[in-house]
Structure formats: C-alpha cells, structure tokens
Chain A
Amino acid sequence: MRQTLSAVLAAVVLCGLAMAANAPAPDFKLEPLGAGVWAAIGNDGGKAGANAGFVVGDDGVAVIDTFEDPGAAKDLLAEIRKITPLPIRFVINTHYHIDHVNGNDVFAAAGATILAQRNVRNWERTENLKWWGDKIKPEVKARVQSLKLPDVVYESGVDLYLGSRKLGVRSYPGHTGGDSIVYIHDAGVVFCGDLFWNHHIPNLIDATTKAWVPTLDALMGYGAGKFVPGHGEPGTALEVKAFQQYLGDLRAAVAQAQSAGRSGDALVQAVLPQMQAKYADWGFFKEFAKSNIEQTSQELAGTKRLPKPGESAAANKPQVPYLPLRVQVGEKAPDFALPSASRGTVRLSALQGRAVLLDFYEGFW
C-alpha cells in the first residue's frame, strides 16, 4: 500500500515537472523514452497535428517527422536546442501526409538532410493537395507545391549512425505505400509514424489494410519496449496488437456486410454499430470511423483509388516558394507611394517619362 502511495506521489511530482518544462510549447509535449530518445506528442486538433520525435546521438540529432505547422516545427527545434547543441543531421519523414512534413523546411534551414521512402518525394507536393479539394486557397496550394522534399530517398530502408548510435529505417506497406519506421537499436524504441495509431481511429484514405495487418506483426517482431504512434500516446506491443485487432475487425465486418449483399450507405449503417460498440472511445472516431468503412469497402471490392508510385513531375520541378504575382507583363503597373529612406515619399506615377526598374529586395540579397 505504501508502495502504491509513493508511486502515485512520484507520478504527481513527475507530471508537475513535465508540465512546467513543457509550458512554452502547448501544441505538443515531450516524453523521454530512453537516454536521448524523445517523443513529441501532438495534441489532437492542435497546430502540431501529429506526433514527431528525435534522437540525440554522439555527434548529432535525428528528427522523426516535422508536424503539420512550421510554427510547431520551430517550437520543436527550440525544445531540441534546450536539450543539446549538437547539429540536426537528419530528418526522417515516416510518410508524405502533410501533418508529418510541413516543418521540413525549418529543419532543412537548420542544416538537416531529409530522408524518406522514394514515394514520399513523388507524392508530397501532389497528393497533399487532396485534403482541401477544389476550394484550396492559392496560398495553401502554393505552400503544398513548395513543400521541402526529401533530399535522399530509399526503396526499402537505410541505416543511419549518430556516432555509435544506430537507427534502422525500414519501409513497410499498409498506410500509404510509402511509410517507414525508425528503430532505435540501443533504446528498444520504434517510431512507427502512421503505421501505428494508439487508441485512435486511423486515416485510411491511402491504405491497403490487407498489407497493413502483416506489417503490424513485423513491427511487434522488433521486440521493442516502446512503440511511438503517429497519433496518440506511446504504447507497447499490446497497443500495437489492439490496433491490428481494429483493422482485422473492420475488414471482417465490411467483408461480412458485402457478402450479405450490402453496399453504399446500407453497408455503412450495418458496420458502424459494430465498430461503435468496441471503439467509440478511440480518438478520431467521429472523424474517421465512417470513412474507414467506406474506404475498406472500396479496398475489398477492388475499386479503391491509391496513389501511384513512380516519378512525379511535381517532385522534380524547381521549388517555387512565392505566390503568383498580382501583376503581369502588358498591364499598367499599379501606382503607389512609399516613404523613402532619404527624401519624403516616392510615388511611382511621379517618375513617369523615365522607365522604372522596381527591385523588391530583402536584406543584402
């Protein structure tokens, strides 16, 4: 009993410390998972948008995923800087979805080389447009089309070394067709990206659940003590098993409804209560439960649209990090007046009679 009480007290104290340490970064919290291994757990619906993590080695840092928002990525970089002055050497993108790659440029600017499975480079600037549909704003479209791509791509995996520390990066099918996990050998930690959702209903928009179920066997086969999901809290093999069970239950319920001749809305109405009975308390149930049924139904019927592997032209176009101009050749230059560094105000139209070369510059560049 005394042991229990002291354990509770210790938990309260630790919790208080953790809260104090993480006060300036409310969009995610850092969780230590071993010496120099940290998970950054995003709040559901917060700016971070997903989980990330980092590993501090002998001579540098590797970051796993970069959040949905560059501001949150900057906060993560600031948190890493509080822990170590070592250079950020690598970023591994576990897959292309925007909630895992939108801060890539923040870490690239800090000197990191970005790695991912080959398809991430092919899909990052194209498939990420689909979250907004036809009503995408020009700013958002331009941002997606200029996302920082991986610098190095691999097919099935690569080993990274931070001095003596080994990170095994391996790709597995299931969630998008371009997902990787990062196994920290000496810590017994697997960063799973979105191949594992802990107590959260997954996003199946690009998924092949048939391939995903055996992938989860492979992940459990690492025998790691900690599995960091793309969404939700770090878990153990038990939670990975529970997630595998969810995918199995979903596939079985959809297959049963299909064999009873159901399709479309009738199929959703037949399957949803079964999933609700078991998984209603999981995160994102409202957001994804229904589309999980529809998308799995498409998968089993062989009609599901999946992103296509292969070289994408968008990936090889030069990055265009600016908005389209609001003016073009042949148009009248809009008039303006601005304060001058030396003499009052300069008005464009007052310079007429001469040609004018407008030079939009910043700093000394």
Chain B
Amino acid sequence: MMELGEFTKHYKEFQAANTEIVAISTDPVGEARWIKEKVGTPFPVLSDAKRVVMELYGTKFLSTYQSPDGGPYNHATLILVDRNGIIRWIYRNADYRVRATVADDLEHIRRLHFGDQEKAK
C-alpha cells in the first residue's frame, strides 16, 4: 500500500497546495473500489480496464507480466498537470518499485504555483 497509502497520509498537504490526486489503474471498477476502501483514499481511484487512457498517454508496461484479464499493466508514472491543463512534471523510474517521495511531489507542485505567481506579477 505504498504510494496510494502515502498520498492518503499526506492528502491535506496536497489539498493545501490546491492539487487533486487522481489514481488510475487497469483494475476493473470492482477491484478499484476494493483498493479504495482498503487504503481509504480520499481522492478518486479510476478504472481504465479498457486501456483507453493507457493508450492516450502511452503508459504501457512492457513486462511479460499480464493483468488477470490478459492485458498489459501501466508502468508506474506520475504526471503533474497545472490548473490550465498543461503537463508540468513527469516522474518514471525503470524500476517500477522506485517512486518519487511525497516531499518531491510537493516540491514540484510548489514550484508550479510559484511559476504561476511569477507570471501574475
């Protein structure tokens, strides 16, 4: 329960930085619901069982591991989108178990807001 758990624990800090977290996996809705309840995430957990968003963003994992439905998994990826819908930061690691820390995530979010303030001046 690593990343979703971390995000849940620090959710208030993300809210304070005016940022919503949206979790996406290839799990069917039922499975996503089970994980949401198990972890207790206060943010949306979405089901991309048809791999529409995986195709749109290109997050496909090339491992030979297959999900229970026989389809591919996502490679763990974080994409930070600013309030105007522009992608501002992407995090991936060749080892899917290595994640950015919450401190890193918040640092990037703060830089983004700082950028907004600079533009506003």
Contact = CB atoms under 8 A, between A and B. Distances in A.
Interface of A: 70-71, 73-74, 105-106, 109, 139, 142-143, 146, 318-336, 338-343, 346, 348-349, 351-365
B3 A353 contact: no
Given A326-B58, A355-B17, 18 more contacts: A318-B95, A323-B58, A325-B77, A329-B88, A338-B48, A340-B47, A346-B46, A348-B81, A351-B20, A355-B20, A355-B83, A355-B109, A355-B113, A359-B24, A360-B24, A360-B25, A362-B74, A365-B3
Interface of B: 1-5, 7, 14, 17-27, 29, 32-33, 35-36, 44-48, 52-65, 67, 73-90, 92, 94-97, 105, 109, 112-113
B77 A360 contact: yes
A322 B18 contact: no
B64 A325 contact: no
Contact of A348 (B22, B27, B61, B105): B22
Instruction: Select the residue from A105, A146, A323, A334 with max chain B CB neighbours within 10 A.
Output: A323
Contacts of B56: 326, 334, 336
B44 A342 contact: yes
Given A340-B44, A355-B80, A361 B19 contact: no
Contacts of A335: 85
20 contacts: A109-B65, A321-B61, A321-B63, A322-B59, A326-B56, A327-B57, A329-B90, A331-B87, A342-B33, A346-B22, A351-B20, A354-B20, A356-B20, A357-B80, A359-B3, A360-B57, A361-B3, A362-B27, A362-B74, A364-B5
A340 B26 CA distance: 12
B106 to A, nearest CB: 10
Contacts of A143: 62
A71 B25 CA distance: 24
Given A325-B77, A332-B85, A105 B33 contact: no
A106 B20 contact: no
B25 A361 contact: yes
Contact of B81 (A109, A320, A333): A333
Contacts of B86: 330-333
Contacts of A319: 94-95
B89 A329 contact: yes
B112 A355 contact: yes
A358 B78 contact: yes
B45 A341 contact: yes
Contacts of A105: 63-64
A361 B23 contact: yes
Contact of A340 (B46, B77, B78): B46
A363 to B, nearest CB: 8
Contacts of A324: 58
A365 B86 CA distance: 26
Given A349-B85, A360-B77, A139 B25 contact: no
Listed from nearest, the 6 A-B pairs whose CB atoms lie closest are A326-B58, A322-B75, A338-B46, A341-B32, A70-B64, A341-B36
B78 A357 contact: yes
B30 to A, nearest CB: 9
- Which interface residue of B62, B77, B78 has the most chain A CB atoms within 10 A? B62
A71 B9 CA distance: 40
A320 B75 CA distance: 10
Contacts of B92: 322, 325
